[in-house]
Amino acid sequence: MTNKLLEIENLKLNFNDYMGTVEVLDKISFSLNKNSWLGLVGESGCGKSVTAFTILRLLPESAEIKNGDILFKEANILAKTEKEMQKIRGKEISMIFQEPQSALDPSMRIGAHITETIRAHRKINRKEVKLQALDILEKVEISNPRYYLNRYPHELSGGMNQRVCIALALVNDPSLLIADEFTTSLDVTIQKRILELVLEIQKLNKMSVLFITHDLALAHECCDYIVVMYAGQIVEKGRADKVLSSPAHPYTKALLNSIPGISKDVKRLQSIDGVVPNLIKPPAGCRFHTRCKHKIPNICDKLFPKVRHLDDGHQAWCHLL
Amino acid sequence: MKNLIELQGIKKYFPINYRLFDRKKKWVKAVDGVDIRIEKREVFSLVGESGSGKTTLANLILGITQPTEGNIFFKGKEISMMKNKDLKEFHKSISVVFQDPFSSLNPRMTIMDILKEPIMENIGVIKNKDLKEYINILLNKTALREEHLFRYAHEFSGGQRQRIAITRAIAAKPEFIVLDEPTSGLDVSIQAQILNLLLDLKEKYESISFLFISHDMAVIRYVSTRIAVMYKGKIVELANNSDLFNNPLHPYTKHLLESVPNFKSINKKSGKIKSKEFNTFSNVNENKNICNYYFKCHYRDRECLNCTQELHFVGNNHYTACNKIGGNLFKSEEIIK
Amino acid sequence: MNKNLQFRINELKRTLNVIITTPLGIIGLLIVFILIISTIIAPLIAPYSPFEADFENSLESPNLNHLFGTDTLGRDIFSRVIYGSRYSLSAGLIVVSVAVIIGSIVGLVAGYPGGRKGAWLMRITDMFLAFPTFVLAIGLAANLGPSFVNSMIAISIVYWPKYARLVYGQALSIKENQYVKYAQVLRENNTRIRLRHIFPNSLAALLVQATLDFGDAILFFAALSFVGLGAQPPAPDWGAMVSTARNYINIAWWMAFFPGLAIFFVVLGFNLIGDSLRDALDPSLRRLKISKLTWLGKLGDHLLVKEK
């Protein structure tokens, strides 16, 4: 019995658009242990959300999985039928999104949301369902849950709506929770509380969390492991504290140097010149070479770097190492 | 005079109409008594979360809405008392950069048209040749190129669009630029570009002031000269940049600073006191004298049920509306050196 | 200036490109193209004058001399149908243009800055919409007197509220954009904001509706002519032709058939263009590789500017 809950191996994904074939994901491989928190970090367009949707098999029609395996609890997700996936979504694997307002149906009461989710996966009588709904609302620290059961989403604040979404995701006790930038639209004080809440619940339920974010500092607060993505590829991965304190890849380094902090000394922020490359004709070799200050001509733009194993599971893909 | 812009006792209340015949009118107090002085050559920042009133305050300064109460002074003269000529000068010297790079540029206008707009409105008609020269100078300042002029806004990335918005803002040679969350929708590496650009512009231009509005404490730390923290329509603390971060004197400021994720805390489990979230999403305040922050405050006591929430001067350009931090040392009106 | 012009031409090409890559769009364009051509070069392609009577050859079924046959007065129906395109095209053009202009002005004034006054203006506009369009048009045309011009006036009066509403709705959402706020900060006056910011951004929706309505307007005009209120005989207007052919359907089906067919195709053509225009201008629609479907589409790719 392995400790690995989720294993993604060599995933390659394309979108067939009217503009051309977009190579969204390339050689994505990482694994997520049980009872652990993994951060998928990168800037917009790097493919982190797409990875999550691929795990849940919620891709648009134009998507084409060219290659790769996704093993969840040692079973291949990519081989499952839609019916089997429907049993998994919301029960084994749950997801919470960035905007709670658009994740909730404005014409349904909160209680209806929760009961619908419960009944989609379990056969319980009405009374029991209501009790469970109240219970889960209390678990996400909504005081006076009876009152909120009958309210509509627009009557709640952003923070409370996000708590409801978390409740919906957790009500069927999933083994894997995918959190896609779920604190980005919240105020920073509320963000902290919600994050603490999910941390607690994760420890209690021994759940695994795949945390997608662009905020490296946030990832540091809660992740055990971290995977850094750029333009559809993984550039670095390893234990969170190690990667963030001694980054190996130029992109990770540059990213960390461009984040302002509230510490005592204020250094000039470094920006990364250029823009993210168009993935219809992605750059050959290492996709970061077009913006890298340390690029080695004829190597970085031709060959994709082999993995470099630094100590303790810390890996990076760079010719300079 | 030092002060470019001054606000005194500014209030903006929005009426809530529940029923057609309501005897008592209820108000949302978006901005509830704000005094600010912005000097030349400084970056004055407003920090606050949603509902704090910072965007409303920006709209009041820009003239998009009118205050319910209070006065706005420009170079010492009160706005409502100004003659037409002075009023025009006031409007010409203020510019703005908005948050959303996707809706702040008209999708039907070329970049050339977008940059021409403020020039034509504020400077007047210029000959084509001079116009071209001037625009080229502008483009240089913000690292844009001439070929960009004939494209449409949607062909650019978020960071480039924000750059265009900044170029537009400096086009009419303003003395004062309001920036309302200019980097909130941008990636971190692009945000660094834009922030550095702003700081460089501040150095290049001789007398320009910024009003920088954000909810991101780290960004504020990087760019500001002075900072005002807003909560529910009032300013709760006002200080120089380093003072605010090294010595916060209001419970809300402290709370904000503690909530910012950083790389130092090994915070996998913070055993802090958690207060349950209260369902307040409006500024309708029934009990008139209770402190706005009472329900979430860790420092509160009996006195806070009846608090004026006025800013006290505490020394070294530092003002706070609360005297609970630091114990009994800070009582109202006492000047500490 | 030259660059600017070149740039706008490119944009036109781009829009045209998309219409050409949809098979239905091509058909629509073709039909309308034929319509416009026949309007312009009518004298060159019509074998006879539309008014020339030839009693000896009256009520002839379609043959080599008269492709669509002749009517009761011996006039060549083919020539009459070709000349009739002039009436239909001009009717559609004038009606839609007038309605768009009036409607846009009302919609812009009501929509920006909006508020109570705007809402009231819209309520008045809604009153017009409450009338059944055809009844109103008949009433107006009858009152003004049956003629080509009067029927166009009547239809325009019936049509403008639709555009007012459309532009009003557009204005309401467009004015929330921050570029409008920016113009407000610059203290631009209302008219300038309407013309520079609000109207250009409503053009897309307006154009689609106008194109779709073109066919509708032609149909409407034909209907008015059918009841005797539009173009008056001996004008070779299609609706009028169908009307006079009513009594002869049993013995001379071609008198009603061909003008009716012309109306059908023209309306269809405009609807098809309108549909593909809507698809072309709708930024949220992401289409799969459609240019694979038609070889004409591939030709279009070569002839015109490619999307990046």
Chain A residues with CB under 8 Å of C286 CB are 17-18, 62
pLDDT at residue C3 tops 70: no
B255 in reach of chain A (CB within 8 A): yes
Q: What is the C-alpha to C-alpha distance for residues A217 and A219, in angstroms, rounded to an integer?
A: 5
Characterize A258-285 residue by residue with b for buried, 16 or more Cβ atoms within 10 angstroms of its Cβ, and e for exposed: bbbbbeeebeebbbbeebbbebeebbeb
Interstrand relation of A20-33 and A4-17 (parallel, antiparallel or unpaired) = antiparallel
Interstrand relation of A4-17 and A63-72 (parallel, antiparallel or unpaired) = antiparallel
pLDDT at residue A204 tops 80: yes
| Coil vs helix vs strand at A145 | helix
Query: Which structure tokens are listed for A270?
Result: 């470094």
ipTM, 2 decimals? 0.86
| Coil vs helix vs strand at C278 | helix
Q: What is the C-alpha to C-alpha distance for residues A173 and A136, in angstroms, rounded to an integer?
A: 10
CA dihedral A285, A290, A294, A298 (to 10 degrees): 40
A116 CA: distance to closest CA in chain B (Å): 25
C287 CA: distance to closest CA in chain A (Å): 6
* pTM (two decimals): 0.83
Per-residue pLDDT at C283: 53
Q: Do A141 and B276 touch (CB under 8 A)?
A: yes
Query: Which of B91, B107, B150 has its CB closest to that of C7?
Result: B150
B103 in reach of chain A (CB within 8 A): no
Q: What is the C-alpha to C-alpha distance for residues C60 and C65, in angstroms, rounded to an integer?
A: 10
With contact defined as 3+ CB pairs under 8 Å, the chains touching C are A, B
pLDDT digits (tens, 9 = 90+) for A88-132: 998 999 999 988 888 999 999 999 999 999 998 888 898 999 999
Q: What is the C-alpha to C-alpha distance for residues A320 and A249, in angstroms, rounded to an integer?
A: 8
| Cβ within 8 Å of C, A 113-152 | none
Q: Do A262 and B218 touch (CB under 8 A)?
A: yes
Q: What is the C-alpha to C-alpha distance for residues C250 and C234, in angstroms, rounded to an integer?
A: 22
Query: Which of B94, B95, B104 has its CB closest to that of C178?
Result: B104
Query: Which residue of chain A is at minimal alpha-carbon distance from C307?
Result: A19
Tell me which of B88, B106, B151 to substitute to probe the interface with C (most C C-beta atoms closer than 10 Å): B106
| CA-based R_g, chain C, Å | 23
Chain B residues with CB under 8 Å of A196 CB are 270, 274
C200 in reach of chain B (CB within 8 A): yes
Phi, psi of C105 (to 5 degrees): -60, -50
Per-residue pLDDT at B332: 35
Tell me which of A196, A262, A270, A293 to substitute to probe the interface with B (most B C-beta atoms closer than 10 Å): A262
Distances in Å between the alpha carbon of B111 and those of A79, B105, B124? 50, 9, 19
B233 CA: distance to closest CA in chain C (Å): 22
| pLDDT-based confidence at residue A10 (cuts at 50, 70, 90) | very high
The DSSP call for residue B92 is: H
Per-residue pLDDT at C17: 67
pLDDT 10s digit of each residue in chain B, 337 long? 567 889 999 999 988 876 666 566 778 889 999 999 998 889 999 999 888 899 999 999 998 889 999 999 988 888 888 888 888 888 888 999 998 888 899 988 889 989 999 988 887 778 888 888 888 888 888 888 888 888 888 888 888 899 999 999 998 889 999 999 999 888 888 899 999 999 988 888 767 899 999 999 999 999 999 999 999 999 999 999 999 999 999 999 999 998 888 877 554 444 444 444 444 444 444 567 888 888 888 888 888 888 888 888 888 889 999 888 764 344 333 333 2
| Cβ within 8 Å of A, B 120-179 | 157, 159-160
Tell me which of B144, B189, B229 to substitute to probe the interface with A (most A C-beta atoms closer than 10 Å): B189
Mean pLDDT calculated for residue range C85-99:
90
Query: Which structure tokens are listed for B137?
Result: 């100078």
A17 in reach of chain C (CB within 8 A): yes
Q: Do A196 and B260 touch (CB under 8 A)?
A: no
